[in-house]
C-alpha cells in the first residue's frame, strides 16, 4: 500500500483522482451522517462530525489546486468507480444485516478505524515524496472522531465484527484502486 501511494503521488493525474476519491468518500460520509440525524433531536456531536467531514471533502478539493489549475468540480473522475461509489452503502447494508442496532455509530466506528490507518500512511508517503499536499488537519480530527466513537461503543459486541466486514469491503475496493 505504501509503495502504491508513493507511485500515485508521482503520477499527477492519478494523484488528482486519488484526492478526488478521498474527497468523494468524505462528502459521502458527511451526507450519511446528516441522513442519520433525527429531524429535530440533533446532537451537537453529530453536527460537529458532519461539518468536519464536509470540511475534509472541501480541504481535499482545495489540495488539488496545488496539482492543477483546473481541479475537477465534481466527482465523475474518481478511482475505483462503482466500488468507491458503493463503499459506504455496502458497509451500511452489511451492518444492517448483522444487527438491528442503529447503524450510524457502528459504520462510523469502522470508517474512523480505517481513516486511522489510511491517512497517516498517505501523510507519510506525501512527506517522503516531498509533496506540498497536506492531510494533517484531517488526521487530527479523525483521531477525535475515533475517540468519540470508541466511547460511544465501549461495550458494543458488534464493533469488531463490523471492522472485519469493513476490512473485506476495503480490500475489494483497494484492489480496484490499484488497477
More confident residue, 87 or 42: 87
Instruction: Report the alpha-carbon distance of residue 123 to residue 110 in Å, rounded.
Output: 20
Overall number of domains in the chain: 1
Which CATH number covers residue 12?
1.20.1260
First-residue to last-residue Cα distance in the chain: 13
pLDDT digits (tens, 9 = 90+) for 67-125: 999 999 999 999 999 999 999 999 999 999 999 877 989 999 999 999 999 999 999 99
Question: Residue 117 corresponds to which cell in the numbers above?
Answer: 490507518
Name the residue with cell 455509530: 105
H helix runs in the chain, sequence order: 2-10, 12-36, 44-64, 81-85, 87-98, 103-128, 136-152, 159-177
pLDDT digits (tens, 9 = 90+) for 110-165: 999 999 999 999 999 999 999 999 999 999 999 999 999 999 999 999 999 999 99
Judging by beta carbons within 10 Å of its beta carbon (0-12, 13-18, 19+), is residue 32 exposed, middle or buried? buried
Vertex 113: Cα angle to 27 and 1 (nearest 5): 85
Domain that holds residue 126: 2-177
- pTM assigned to the model: 0.94
Amino acid at each position: 500500500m505504501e509503495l502504491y501511494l508513493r507511485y500515485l503521488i508521482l503520477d499527477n493525474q492519478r494523484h488528482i483522482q486519488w484526492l478526488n476519491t478521498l474527497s468523494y468518500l468524505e462528502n459521502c460520509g458527511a451526507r450519511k451522517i446528516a441522513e442519520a440525524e433525527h429531524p429535530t433531536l440533533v446532537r451537537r456531536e453529530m453536527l460537529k462530525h458532519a461539518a468536519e467531514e464536509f470540511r475534509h471533502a472541501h480541504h481535499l478539493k482545495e489540495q488539488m489546486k496545488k496539482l492543477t489549475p483546473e481541479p475537477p468540480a465534481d466527482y465523475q473522475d474518481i478511482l475505483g468507480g462503482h466500488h468507491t461509489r458503493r463503499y459506504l452503502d455496502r458497509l451500511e447494508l452489511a451492518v444492517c444485516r448483522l444487527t438491528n442496532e442503529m447503524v450510524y455509530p457502528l459504520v462510523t466506528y469502522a470508517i474512523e478505524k480505517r481513516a486511522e490507518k489510511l491517512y497517516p500512511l498517505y501523510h507519510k508517503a506525501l512527506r517522503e515524496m516531498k509533496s506540498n499536499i497536506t492531510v494533517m488537519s484531517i488526521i487530527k480530527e479523525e483521531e477525535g472522531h475515533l475517540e468519540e466513537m470508541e466511547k460511544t461503543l465501549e461495550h458494543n459486541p458488534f464493533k469488531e465484527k463490523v471492522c472485519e466486514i469493513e476490512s473485506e469491503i476495503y480490500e475489494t475496493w483497494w484492489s480496484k484502486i490499484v488497477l
